Amino acid sequence: MLEILHYEFMQNAWVAGILASIACGMIGTYVVVKRISFISGGISHAAFGGIGLGYFLGINPMIGAMVFGVASAVGLGIISKRTHQHEETVIGVLWSMGMALGIIFIYLTPGYAPDLMSYLFGDILMVPRMDLMMMAILDGMIMVIVFLFYKEFLAFCFDEEFCAAMGVPVYPLYLLLLCLISLTVVTLIRVVGIILVMALLIIPPSISRRFTHHLGKMMCISIALGMAFTTLGLWLSYQFSLPSGAVIILVAGINFLLFAFIPKTIFLVKLKCLIGHFTGEAYLDEK
C-alpha cells in the first residue's frame, strides 16, 4: 500500500477517502438510526442539478452541488412538514427535478463536460487539491455542529414526539440534520459518485450497529470502517486497474455481508479491547 502513495494523485485520493469517511461515519450513523436512507439517495440525485448549474455558470460544480443539495434538503423538510406530504413522495419529486435540471443545464452549456461521469460514478483518483480543501472545510463544519448538538440529536433519534413534548425544537433540528446529510453527500460525490453515494453513507454505520448501540461509539467505528474500506478499495483498484469508486463500494458491501452472516460474538472481544469507553451514558435500543 505504501508504494502507491508515492504518486501525488494517489495521495489526494487517499486523503479524499479519509475525509469522506469522517463525514459519512458521523452523519451516516444518524441516517441509519433514524432509518432515512432514502433521503440521502434523493438528495444526492437532486444535487446533480447543482453540478449542471455549476458547469453552466462556469464555477466549481462542487459548489453548485452543495448549494443545490442544501436547498433540496431544506425544501424537503419544509414541503413535507407544511403540506403533510409523505417524505418519500417529496424526495421522489425533488430527485427527478434535480436530475432533469442538471441535464438541461449541461445541455445549455457550450462545449462538452469532460468529467461529468466522475460525478455520476465517482473518480477519486482525479480529485484536485481545491476539492480536498472544500471537503476538509465541510468536514470541519459537520464535526462542529455534531459536537454542539450531540445531546439534542441523540434525543431526537430516540423519540421525536417526546422531544417535541419536552420543548426541544424538533423542526429546526430536522432541517439541520437534512442539511448535514446534504453536506455529507457533497463530500462523497467525488469519491464514489452520485449513483453509489448512499452505499458508503449507510454500510459502515450499519456494520457498527451490530457491535454497539452507543451513538458516539457507532460514529467512531463507522469512521474507522470507512477509512479501512476506502484504503483497501484504492489499493485493490490500483492493483487490478479497476474503477476506484465501484471497488470501494464492493469492499464495503462484501464486509457488510460477512458481518451480517458471521456471529458477532466472534468479533466482540477484540472490538471491546480496541474501542474502549467513550464519553456519554446514553445508549440506543436495538429495534
Tell me the average pLDDT across 22-40: 89
Decide which of 52 and 6 is more confident. Answer: 52
Tell me the average pLDDT across 59-64: 87
Give the pLDDT confidence score for residue 220 in this predicted structure.
93
Residues 6+ apart with CB under 8 A from 65: 47, 48, 50, 51, 54, 119, 186, 189
> What is the DSSP code (8-state) at residue 262?
S
* Cβ atoms < 10 Å from Cβ of 220: 18
pLDDT at 44 over 80: yes
Give the pLDDT confidence score for residue 269 in this predicted structure.
52
Question: What are the residue ranges spanned by the domains of the chain?
Answer: 2-275
Q: Are 26 and 142 in contact (CB under 8 A)?
A: yes
Q: What is the CA radius of gyration of the chain?
A: 19
How does the average pLDDT of the chain come out, rounded?
Answer: 83
Most confident of 147-156, 259-268, 272-281: 147-156
Give the pLDDT confidence score for residue 287 in this predicted structure.
42
Sole residue written with cell 466472534: 266
pLDDT band at 279 (very low <50, low <70, confident <90, very high): very low
| pLDDT, tens only, 148-182 | 999 888 888 877 777 777 777 888 888 999 999 99
CA-to-CA distance for 208 and 216, rounded, in angstroms? 11
Give the pLDDT confidence score for residue 144 in this predicted structure.
94
pLDDT band at 3 (very low <50, low <70, confident <90, very high): low
Give the pLDDT confidence score for residue 278 in this predicted structure.
46
Decide which of 209 and 159 is more confident. Answer: 209
pLDDT band at 136 (very low <50, low <70, confident <90, very high): very high
| pLDDT, tens only, 95-133 | 889 999 998 998 898 877 656 777 877 788 888 888 889
Give the pLDDT confidence score for residue 268 in this predicted structure.
55
Question: Counting beta carbons within 10 angstroms of the beta carbon of residue 95, is it exposed (0 to 12), middle (13 to 18) or buried (19 or more)?
Answer: buried
Give the pLDDT confidence score for residue 281 in this predicted structure.
44
HSE-up of residue 129 (Cα within 13 Å, Cβ side): 1
pLDDT at 272 over 70: no
pTM above 0.95, yes or no: no
Amino acid, single-letter form, for residue 25: G
Give the pLDDT confidence score for residue 275 in this predicted structure.
52
Give the pLDDT confidence score for residue 266 in this predicted structure.
56
CA-to-CA distance for 28 and 199, rounded, in angstroms? 10
pLDDT at 2 over 90: no
pLDDT band at 267 (very low <50, low <70, confident <90, very high): low
Percent of residues, the chain, with pLDDT higher than 90: 29
pLDDT at 286 over 50: no
Least confident window among 7-16, 154-163, 230-239 = 154-163
- For the domain bounded by 2-275, which CATH number is listed? 1.10.3470.10
